[in-house]
Every structure is written in structure tokens, then in C-alpha cells.
Amino acid sequence: MLNEPKNYKENVKAFQPKIPYVRNCLKAFLFGGMICLIGQFIQTFYMHFFDYSRREAGDPTVATLILISALMTGFGVYDKIARFAGAGSIVPVTGFANSITSAAIEHRNEGVVLGIATNLFSLAGAVIVFGVVSAAILGIIRLFLEQVF
């Protein structure tokens, strides 16, 4: 019986479309892997032509990927790719850039200060907050342990 309000949420599960787990994972793997592969090419490029060490090449690599992602967001392409790529385009740093750029573009009509600037981190803020809070707490713990032992 589906006509039981209290059990509806549970009983209605039989009517829900199946999630194509394997296909979704495959797409995330291919797109995510591809973005990282492009990142590797960029990194290798910087190491070869600018004589950066591997660690030094990291910063310009990330910055280049962010620039590409921001431009693709501006041209309205990134969200189209993401419909297919799922987590493959959300997890890489390009997804972080997309969340910043898309929020800023969406509110540009509300002005440069109140629209673009205040909304820049409306989606990406969570990443920074959780990153900084966890890094600070874990850093204190690790420093404490290093001093004790």
C-alpha cells in the first residue's frame, strides 16, 4: 500500500528510477582522469620550458587550470560538460574555480561590489572554511605530538 502517509517515504522507493552507478562512475573516472592528465601536461610544460622544479611547477599549473575553467564557465561550456562528468568535473580544482566564477557571473547585474564581490564565495566558501579549520586543528595536534614525542 502506497496510501500510508507515514510509510510513504519508505514504500515509494520502489517507484524511484535506478541510479546508473557504473555508468556514472565510469564517466567521472574518464572526465576526472582527463582533467588531471591535462594538468600533468601543463605541469610538464612548465618544468621543461621554464625550468621549474616539480614543486614550483605546481602553482602555475593550478593557476592555468583555474584560468581555463573560469573562461569555460564564462563561455557557458563548463556546466554542459559537468552534466555528463558528474564528480569528474566537481572534484578537480577546476570545479572550485567553476563554483566561484558561476556564482560571480550569476549576480553581476546586482553590481560589482554587492553582486560579484559578495557572491564570489557563496558556493566555494565551504571549501575554504573546512580546509582552514581542519588544517588549523590538525596542525595544532600534529605540532603538539611532535613536541611531546
Nearest to other proteins of 5, 149 (CB atom): 5
Give 28's contacts (C-beta < 8 A, 6+ positions apart).
Answer: 85, 86, 87, 88, 91
Are 94 and 62 spatial neighbours (Cβ–Cβ below 8 Å)? no
- Minimum distance from CB of 107 to other proteins (Å)? 8
Main-chain phi, psi angles of 138, to 5 degrees:
-65, -35
Nearest to other proteins of 48, 117 (CB atom): 117
Nearest to other proteins of 50, 79 (CB atom): 79
- Minimum distance from CB of 47 to other proteins (Å)? 10
- Minimum distance from CB of 49 to other proteins (Å)? 16
Distances (CA, A) of 101 to 22, 45, 66: 30, 26, 10
Task: Name residue, grid cell 600534529.
Answer: 142
- Minimum distance from CB of 80 to other proteins (Å)? 8
Count the Cβ atoms, other than its own, within 10 Å of residue 121: 16
CA distance 95 to 129: 17
- Minimum distance from CB of 42 to other proteins (Å)? 8
Nearest to other proteins of 16, 51 (CB atom): 16
Nearest to other proteins of 50, 140 (CB atom): 140
